[in-house]
Amino acid sequence: MKILNLYAGIGGNRALWGDEHEITAVENVPHIAEVYRQLWPNDTVIESDAHQYLLDHYKEFDFIWSSPPCPTHSRLQIPQNALGNVRYPDMTLYQEIIFLKHFCHVPWVVENVIGYYTPLISPTRELARHYFWTNFYLGKYYNDSGTYKIIRSAIGSLQEYLGMELTAGTPNARKLLRNCVHPKLGLHVFNCKDNLKQEALL
């Protein structure tokens, strides 16, 4: 199976997908792309604009996962507003949902944080601390890791929680780990991909 993993980060979402698939990861921050390469050496890593890459290459893949940047949608924008640091929400998120819905005929998923506003397009499902938009049925997910304080956790605790270990001295390691989709959640969504809907979802 040919898989496209957009805005790949360090690959928490793909950690339990195995190595039997042909995975192309797109990440435009060089030092993050390098960490991904170290963790998943069998994947093809492309340092490029994921938004444009999706538009140019979506027909080449059997499954597409996209995790557009989430900071401008996060509930953390509320305290940021008090500091004068508020930003417009990045509409890349909704552009990709609309595009995939109308033009992509393979299983796809767009993941983002639970936002501070009512989503402009209702998500397919809310799982753990994420919204998911898909063209397939997402079953319920039971997080057996328990409630975890992602924001305040130390690097070692985050690595244990995610089952991922970064090289000592990795720049911004705590932030990279905090931004990961938990591997068990990534596997759950991946395993649901065959439940493709036969009619328009959104």
Contacts of 25 (CB under 8 A, 6+ apart): 5, 8, 11, 14, 33, 36, 40, 43, 44, 45, 46
Does residue 20 belong to any structural domain of this protein? yes
Does residue 151 belong to any structural domain of this protein? no
Instruction: State residue 196's pLDDT score.
Output: 83
Q: Helical H runs in 40-165?
A: 50-57, 77-82, 92-103, 155-162
Longest dimension (CA), the chain: 48
Does residue 157 belong to any structural domain of this protein? no
DSSP E strands: which ranges in 67-141? 108-113, 125-127, 130-134
Number of domains in the chain: 1
Does residue 159 belong to any structural domain of this protein? no
Contacts of 199 (CB under 8 A, 6+ apart): none
Domain with residue 187: its CATH number is 3.40.50.150
Instruction: State residue 93's pLDDT score.
Output: 97
Rounded average pLDDT per 10-residue block, the chain, 202 residues: 97 96 97 96 98 98 95 74 76 97 97 93 93 94 59 80 89 89 95 75 41
Q: Which tokens hold the place of 159? A: 């690595």
Does residue 173 belong to any structural domain of this protein? no
- Radius of gyration, alpha carbons of the chain: 16
0.85 cut: is pTM over it? yes
Instruction: State residue 122's pLDDT score.
Output: 96
Does residue 32 belong to any structural domain of this protein? yes
Instruction: State residue 114's pLDDT score.
Output: 92
- At residue 99, the 3 state secondary structure works out as helix
Full domain range(s) for residue 91: 2-145+182-191
Does residue 158 belong to any structural domain of this protein? no
Does residue 97 belong to any structural domain of this protein? yes
